[in-house]
């Protein structure tokens, strides 16, 4: 019987289970067995812990297509090429990539379908360079992968952020406060920009446009002149930073781990308070409150559009695997699901273009980018 491997790697996002559902059902209908790898590439490293796999049939994926998370588990650690092991209290980094390639062959897998973001797809690509057959499926709430119009999970994150802004609006208006919402996205401002537009933000700060705090202050002041209101809704991407400043980090990158971004919202609050002490000409200095939306953006069921992309990505990945078209990444182009060489997906991050129509439209309706 033909067998394909399937794994989810990196941070979870809404829609992973829909891809799994679609791959498993598509494969079963073609008489192919799916071997699910547990906890991303970690499950294929083996060694003392052994391989961590489970066969998935249609019955195993019943009713999961609308659920958040991933039934296969995931991790954003466990890069086989920089595998961290602790021996006698000392951590060491080893290259276990060849073992993974050998394990894929030993399991009798024709190839591996890897659902992941930039990190996991880079690992998949490297495994391909070392002889494994792989197909990539792009996922991430950040929407920062190249060669696809969007990734699944993104629209759910935007929906959650939009709802948060709707809620911050009513409390912020009632108290006439400046309300800051920090959203995820790493070094891309897609979530902040989309949520800011549909959530009626007055200021959107994104990593692609370093901000000037005096321009942000100017927007708050303008709100007062236009509406006699201090109420101002600000969305700040976690990767946003002031011109000449740096991205706020909770934790720097370590052995086999990425840097953890966070703190941009609180940093902005501090800068804004400081700016009010010099540059505010009204009797009442506005109060500022900050909300960090965090992992709420990643949890829960995918919205309809993310579900649709996920199900179609899964179906296309199976079609490619059945046809033996390995080394590709499925992608969205307009309304069509297509595929590109896997390396194209990871070559260059997909960032907000500062002179794009989307940014221009945001400016047209009065959103300030703090520049
Ligand atoms: O890449 C998805 C993402 O949610 C980013 O937006 C965020 O910076 C990061 O993952 C958080 O990672 P973790 O779940 O490891 O805290």
Residue 182's φ and ψ, nearest 5 degrees, are -95, 125
Domain match, 197 and 316 both: no
Total number of domains in the chain: 2
Residue 147's φ and ψ, nearest 5 degrees, are 65, 15
> How confident is the model over 159-174, as pLDDT tens digits?
999 999 999 999 999 9
For residue 356, being part of any structural domain is answered with: no
Give me the pLDDT at residue 166, please. Answer: 98
Give me the pLDDT at residue 342, please. Answer: 97
Give me the pLDDT at residue 283, please. Answer: 75
Residues of the chain with pLDDT under 70: none
Q: Which of 297, 314, 335 is the last residue of a domain?
A: 297
The answer to whether residue 142 is catalytic is yes
Q: What is the CATH number of the domain that holds 185?
A: 3.40.50.460
> How confident is the model over 262-310, as pLDDT tens digits?
999 999 999 999 999 988 887 789 999 999 999 999 999 999 999 999 9
Is the overall model pTM greater than 0.75, yes or no? yes
Give me the pLDDT at residue 69, please. Answer: 98
Give me the pLDDT at residue 47, please. Answer: 73
Give me the pLDDT at residue 46, please. Answer: 82
Domain match, 123 and 141 both: yes
For residue 30, being part of any structural domain is answered with: yes
Q: Which strands form 288-292's sheet, in the order they lie side by side? A: 203-205, 232-237, 178-183, 288-292
Give me the pLDDT at residue 49, please. Answer: 72
> How confident is the prediction for the chain on average, in pLDDT?
96
Give me the pLDDT at residue 254, please. Answer: 82
Pocket-testing residue among 69, 184, 185, 261, ligand 1, by greatest number of atoms within 8 A of Cβ: 184
Domain match, 107 and 136 both: yes
Q: Whose CA is nearest to atom 16 of ligand 1?
A: 260
For residue 363, being part of any structural domain is answered with: no
Q: What is the CATH number of the domain that holds 29?
A: 3.40.50.450
User: Which residues constitute the domain of residue 198?
Assistant: 157-297
Q: Report the C-alpha dihedral over residues 129, 131, 134, 139, rounded to 10 degrees.
A: -40
Pocket-testing residue among 118, 119, 142, 264, ligand 1, by greatest number of atoms within 8 A of Cβ: 142
Give me the pLDDT at residue 194, please. Answer: 98
Distances 162 to 52, 185, 186, 264, 308 between C-alpha atoms, Å: 38, 15, 18, 19, 20
Least Cα distance to 327 among 35, 120, 81, 128 occurs for 128
Residue 334's φ and ψ, nearest 5 degrees, are 65, -120
Least Cα distance to 5 among 135, 195, 116, 199 occurs for 135
């Amino acid at each position: 019987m033909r067998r394909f491997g399937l794994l989810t790697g990196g941070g979870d996002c809404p829609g992973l289970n829909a891809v799994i559902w679609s791959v498993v059902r598509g494969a079963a209908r073609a008489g192919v067995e799916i071997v699910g790898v547990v906890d991303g590439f970690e499950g294929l490293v083996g060694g003392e812990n052994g391989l961590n796999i489970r066969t998935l049939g249609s019955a195993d994926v019943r009713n999961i297509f609308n659920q958040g998370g991933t039934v296969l588990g995931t991790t954003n650690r466990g890069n086989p090429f920089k595998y961290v092991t602790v021996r006698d209290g000392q951590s060491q980094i080893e290259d276990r990539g060849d073992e993974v390639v050998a394990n894929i062959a030993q399991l009798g897998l024709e190839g591996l379908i890897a659902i992941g973001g930039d990190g996991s797809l880079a690992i998949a690509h490297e495994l391909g360079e070392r002889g494994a057959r792989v197909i990539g499926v792009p996922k991430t709430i950040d929407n920062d992968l190249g060669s696809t119009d969007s990734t699944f999970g993104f629209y759910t994150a935007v929906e959650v952020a939009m709802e948060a802004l709707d809620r911050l609006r009513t409390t912020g208006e009632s108290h006439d406060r400046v309300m800051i919402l920090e959203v995820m996205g790493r070094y891309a401002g897609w979530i902040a920009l989309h949520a800011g537009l549909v959530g009626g933000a007055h200021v959107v700060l994104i990593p692609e446009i370093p901000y000037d705090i005096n321009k942000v202050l100017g927007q708050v002041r303008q709100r007062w002149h236009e509406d006699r209101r201090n109420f101002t809704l600000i969305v700040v991407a976690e990767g946003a930073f002031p011109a000449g400043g740096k991205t706020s980090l909770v934790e720097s990158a370590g052995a086999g781990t990425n840097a953890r971004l966070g703190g941009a919202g609180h940093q902005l609050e501090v800068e804004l308070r400081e700016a009010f002490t010099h540059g505010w000409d009204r009797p009442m200095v506005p109060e500022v409150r900050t909300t960090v939306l965090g992992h709420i953006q990643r949890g829960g069921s995918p919205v309809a559009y993310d579900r649709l992309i996920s199900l179609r990505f899964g179906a296309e990945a199976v079609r490619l695997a059945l046809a033996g078209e390995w080394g590709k990444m499925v992608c969205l182009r307009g309304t069509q699901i297509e595929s590109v060489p896997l390396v194209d997906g990871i070559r260059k991050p997909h960032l907000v273009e500062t002179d794009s129509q989307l940014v221009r439209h945001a400016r047209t309706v009065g959103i300030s980018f703090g520049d």
